[in-house]
A and B are shown apart, each in its own frame.
Chain A
Amino acid sequence: MKLLTANFLTCAVKGCKAAASSYPLHFKDAELELQEVDFQPEFIHNIIPRIDWEGLRVMANELGFPKIPDSKPEGDALNDEQTMRDLHRLLLETHVVEGRLCCGNCGHEYMIKEGIANFLLPSHLGKTKNSIVEIRVYADGFPL
């Protein structure tokens, strides 16, 4: 999972969405891998305005990366190739391949296996109230 992806994830538990401590999620026992991708400065340039910078700083710090700038690059800084390359590496090329993502509010942990994070909840956490309804299901013949 890319760090860019993690910037747009939070706890899947409904009640956690409103809690400030549910974002960002916290990596635990993260195994990192560098996966090279073509450098597209335009792409980085365009998505920077949409990054939650504080969330990214917290994650980068917890993963042990050198400190990233205090504030989001703006204006001329967006034309600086080294800054764009650094962010490309951090956001798109740095992958968490194994580990867990933990919610700071409810403590639930989501597993990351072979680069895919699994946000399915155990049934007691994901339940939504539904009335009992009757539906009829018809099995069709095989049309093929």
Chain B
Amino acid sequence: MASVTFVPSQEEEDAYEEENVHQVYQQIAHHFSSTRYKPWPIVKQFLTDLKPGSIGLDVGCGNGKNLSVNKDVFIVASDRSENLARIARSHQPHSTVVADILSLPHPDSSFDFAISIAVIHHLSTPERRVGAIREILRTLKPASDTVPGGKALIYVWALEQKDSRRGWDKGDQQDRMVPWVMKGTASAGSEPQVFHRYYHLYQASELEQDINDAGGYVLDSGYEKDNWWAIAVRSGPESS
């Protein structure tokens, strides 16, 4: 196992993710999209349960596979990869823009819900991961006496996945480069192309901690098929 140590400076963190996350997704967008077609059960349930007319965000929407679940709500989806955003926009009545999770182009305190599925684990420092969650929470409607606040569903890849083909488990390294292999076409006889994406693998209770640090309150959380998930709201005034 090869290891690389590096020390990102303030300026370099953006550049690091640009090279090791964003550019990779730009290049693998179509192949990635062809392998991602089914919403995960808890994501599907969360979206199905929304009240018709709800307005929300899908931050890091990828190919937009979660946009097909509920056509009675309106979702403004965004992705850092323009190629993925273009693939995602076919899902009516929803809409897609290109945006960065740390600088979302949405007003404060406006949305009924947000999802961010398999996205936050691509940010390369704890500060950036908490910052991303804070940015999502900022867009949610705060609770009032009469209406509940907006809810966010967040999924991240788990370190504890010893039964997966990767086989990582508790105690293993959390920051990793994970290969994406695009097989060459048989007719052209070309070699498979391998791209590496940066991931921070979350360990048990780390997602809940990041949500708390970002000013959120966890309503529910759990583990589903190699991922940690949590449903969060903005903390009420009594706890802030």
Residues of A within 8 A of B (CB): 1-2, 4-5, 8-14, 17, 23, 37, 40, 42-43, 45-47, 49-50, 92, 110, 114-121, 123, 126-144
Can you list 22 contacts pairing A with B, beta carbon distance less than 8 Å? A9-B97, A10-B105, A10-B107, A14-B103, A45-B53, A115-B89, A116-B86, A116-B98, A119-B100, A119-B103, A120-B80, A123-B11, A133-B127, A136-B173, A136-B175, A137-B176, A138-B175, A139-B4, A139-B176, A140-B166, A140-B176, A143-B165
Chain A contacts for B179, CB-based, 8 A: 140, 142-144
Decide: B100 and A46 in contact? CB cutoff 8 A.
Answer: no
Among B3, B96, B99, the residue within 8 A (CB) of A137 is B3
- By beta carbon, the residue of chain B nearest A18 is B108
B82 at the interface (CB under 8 A from A): yes
Decide: A47 and B125 in contact? CB cutoff 8 A.
Answer: no
Decide: B98 and A120 in contact? CB cutoff 8 A.
Answer: yes
With A and B bound together, what is the CA distance between A2 and B93 in angstroms? 10
Among A9, A116, A131, A137, the residue within 8 A (CB) of B175 is A137
Decide: A1 and B95 in contact? CB cutoff 8 A.
Answer: yes
Chain A contacts for B107, CB-based, 8 A: 8, 10, 17, 23
Decide: B72 and A116 in contact? CB cutoff 8 A.
Answer: no
Among B76, B95, B125, the residue within 8 A (CB) of A135 is B125
Decide: B53 and A50 in contact? CB cutoff 8 A.
Answer: yes
Residues of B within 8 A of A (CB): 1-11, 13-14, 52-53, 55, 71-72, 74, 76, 78, 80, 82, 85-86, 89, 92-93, 95-100, 102-108, 110-111, 124-128, 131, 165-166, 173, 175-179, 181, 194, 196, 198
Decide: A5 and B76 in contact? CB cutoff 8 A.
Answer: yes
Q: How far is the CB of A13 from chain B (nearest CB, A)?
A: 7
Number of A-B residue pairs having CB atoms within 8 Å of each other in the complex: 163
Among A37, A40, A47, A134, the residue within 8 A (CB) of B5 is A134
Among B53, B98, B104, B175, the residue within 8 A (CB) of A46 is B53
Q: A133-B8, A136-B4, A140-B177 are in contact. List 5 more A-B contacts (CB 8 A).
A: A50-B74, A114-B86, A130-B127, A135-B8, A137-B3
With A and B bound together, what is the CA distance between A123 and B11 in angstroms? 9
- By beta carbon, the residue of chain A nearest B80 is A120
Decide: A130 and B177 in contact? CB cutoff 8 A.
Answer: no
Chain B contacts for A50, CB-based, 8 A: 53, 55, 74
Which of A110, A126, A139, A142 lies at the interface centre, i.e. has the most chain B CB atoms within 10 A of its CB? A139
- By beta carbon, the residue of chain B nearest A37 is B92
Which of B52, B72, B97, B178 lies at the interface centre, i.e. has the most chain A CB atoms within 10 A of its CB? B97
With A and B bound together, what is the CA distance between A132 and B7 in angstroms? 7
Chain A contacts for B5, CB-based, 8 A: 134, 136-137
With A and B bound together, what is the CA distance between A92 and B94 in angstroms? 9
With A and B bound together, what is the CA distance between A121 and B98 in angstroms? 11
Among A49, A126, A129, A139, the residue within 8 A (CB) of B10 is A129
Known: A9-B76, A132-B10. A2 touches B95 (CB 8 A): yes
Among A8, A11, A12, A142, the residue within 8 A (CB) of B55 is A8
Decide: B98 and A8 in contact? CB cutoff 8 A.
Answer: no
Among A116, A123, A133, the residue within 8 A (CB) of B126 is A133
With A and B bound together, what is the CA distance between A2 and B76 in angstroms? 10
Decide: B3 and A139 in contact? CB cutoff 8 A.
Answer: yes
